[in-house]
Amino acid sequence: MSDYNFLMESRLSPEQYQVLTHVSRMAVEQGLNIYLVGGAVRDLTYGFEMVHDLDFAVEGNPQRIIRMLEAGQALADSPLAPRAAESPSIPQVAFLNFDPRTNSAEIQFRNGVRAEIAMTRTEVYRRPGKRPEVAPAMIFDDLRRRDFSVNAMAVSLHPNSRGLLLDPTNGVADIERRELRVLHSRSFSEDPIRIYRLLRLGARLGFKPAERTANFLASAIAEKLWAKLDPVRQGRELQAILRENDPAKTLRILSNRGLAAGLDRKLAPARIPYERFARIRDLARTVSGSDPFLLNFHNAVSGLSRAHQRRLAKKAVGNRKPVQTVLNLDREARKLARVLASTRVGLPSRAFKLLAGQPPTLLLFLLVHYPNPQIQKRTKDFLHKYALVRTRLPRAEFLAMGAKPGPKFEKILEQLFFDQIDGKIRTPQQLAKEFRKLAGIPEPKPPKPQKLSKKVKTPKPAKTAKALQAKPAEPPKFPKAISAKSVGPAKPPKPANARPAKPAKSAKMVTPKKAAPTAKRKKNKKK
C-alpha cells in the first residue's frame, strides 16, 4: 500500500502542496470532511512526476470554503485569521468560476495552480448528453458515479485519517494493468463526453480500454452519441484537450475517428498546424508566467474567421479577460514586433524598457510566430540574460557604503542595471565608483602612513635545521688567558727541508734586548 502522505509531499509541486494544505486546513476549521479525488490521485498512484490539477470533494456545503477563497484571505472572525496573518505565503485566488447547479467551483490561483472544489454528489441523466440532476451524497456514492475506475479513487485529507485511500471500484488494479474501465454499461450513453475523455487519457497515459469498455465505445461512436453534447460540455472538453502536454496527439486521434466535429462544427483538424504545438510546449517552459493554453487555442482556431474565433473563445476559454487576451494576440504582437525590430531600440536598455510591461503570453507568442533574429535575440535576452544581471547587483554592499533604502536607492540600482547591460559598466570597481557618484557618497580617503620614531632593527631569521646541518660546526672559542695551542690537537711533524718556524710570542713572553758591550770587549775589538 502506498504512503499517500509521502506521495503528496514529494510528487506535488510546492505551489500545489501549498494550496492543498491551505484548503484542507480551512475545511477542518469549518468542520467539513474533504478529500483529494480524481486525476490527482490517479497520477500519484501511477507515479507521474507532475500532477496536472487538484480536485477536492467535500462532504457538505463547500461554499463555506469557496467564499473564504474568493475573498483572498481568511475571514476576520475565523480562527484561521491569526494563522493567515503569520503566513504571508497563503495562496491568492486569481479568478473563480462558481457553478450553482453542481455546487462546485473552478479556481485559478495566482501561483499557477488550477483546482476544483465540489460537493460530493450523485448524478441522474434524464437525456444523453445533457447535464444531469445532482443531489448531495457521501464520498463512496460520489466515487461510484464517476467515469472510469482509475478516476474513482480518493485520499482523505482530514487530520484523523489523512493519507487513507478509498478505492471502491478497484482502480489501483486497473492502473497496474494500464487499462481504462467504465463503471457500468450505460456510461457512454448517459454522458457522451466520456468518449473524448477515454481517448484523451489513453493518449496521455498510454492506457488501453478494457475489453468490455472497448465494445461499449465502438457502439457509442457508431450511434453518434457524441453529436448530442451541449456547448458547455463541448467547451470544457476542448479546453481539457488544449491543456494537454501534447494536444496534437489527441486531436489527430479525434480526426482519424471523425469525432472533431463533436466538439465544434467549425473545428477543422485539416487546417490545424500540428507541428506548432510542440514548439509552443518547449518555449513555454522557458517563459515564466506564460499560459501555453492560450497559444494552443490560438493555434487550433487560427484557420477560422474572426467571428468563429470569438465564439469558440467564449465557449472554451470562458473568462472575459483571457478571451480578450487571446483574441488580441495577433494585433498586439504585430505592433510590438515592428518596434522591437527597429533601430529605435538599438540599446539593450531600450529593449528592456519596451518588453518590461508586456504580458508573458505575448512574449511567448513573439518567440513562436516571429523568427526574425533581432526579435528572437532581444526577447530571449530580456527573459534570461538581463534577469540574471539584475539579480547580481550587490545591494547589501551598496547599503554598507552608507546608502539608505527607499525609492531613490531603487532608482539608482535601476540606472546601474541599464548601464551594465548597455556595456558602460564592465568591472566591479566601475560599478562601485558609479554608485558612489550617483548616491553622493565620497570616496574613502586612503590611510596615512605611520611614522616610526626609532629605527627598529629587524631580527634576523632563525636558522633552520637544514642550514645548521649544511654548515660545519665552528671550533669552540677559548678565553684569552688560555692558549689554544696548549689544548688543541697535536700538529703533524714537519718535513726536514721545511724552514724552522718562528717561535710564537706569548702574551707574557718578551724578547730581551742585546746588552751593551763592556770595556774588556771594546779592548779586544781594538786589538
Separation between Cα atoms, residue 458 and residue 72, nearest integer Å: 75
pLDDT tens across 390-424, in order?
Answer: 989 999 998 888 888 999 999 999 999 999 999 99
Query: Who has greater pLDDT, 372 or 77?
Result: 372
Q: What is the pLDDT of residue 1?
A: 55
Separation between Cα atoms, residue 270 and residue 97, nearest integer Å: 33
In 3D space, the residue among 246, 243, 242, 199 whose CA is nearest the CA of residue 218 turns out to be: 199
The model's pTM = 0.76
Instruction: Kindly state the average pLDDT of the residues 158-162.
Output: 94
* Residues 287 and 360 sit within 8 Å (Cβ to Cβ): yes
CA-CA distances (angstroms) from residue 508 to 59, 394, 486? Answer: 127, 86, 15
Please tell me the total number of residues recorded for the chain in this structure.
527
User: Minimum mean pLDDT among 102-106, 352-356, 460-464: which range?
Assistant: 460-464
Pseudo-torsion of CA 140, 237, 310, 268, nearest 10°?
A: -170
User: Minimum mean pLDDT among 60-69, 110-119, 485-494: which range?
Assistant: 485-494
- Helix residue spans in 31-132 (DSSP H): 39-46, 63-71, 81-86
List Cβ neighbours of 397 (8 Å cut-off, separation of 6 or more): 432
Separation between Cα atoms, residue 154 and residue 158, nearest integer Å: 12
CA-CA distances (angstroms) from residue 231 to 224, 226, 396? Answer: 16, 12, 57
Instruction: Kindly state the average pLDDT of the residues 233-261.
Output: 92
Q: Residue 77: pLDDT band by 50, 70, 90 thresholds?
A: very low
Cell readout for 509 is 713572553
Q: What is the pLDDT of residue 344?
A: 87
Q: What is the pLDDT of residue 359?
A: 92
Q: Is the pLDDT of residue 505 over 70?
A: no
Identify the structural domains of the chain with CATH numbers, from first to last.
Answer: 1-177 (3.30.460.10), 394-439 (no CATH)
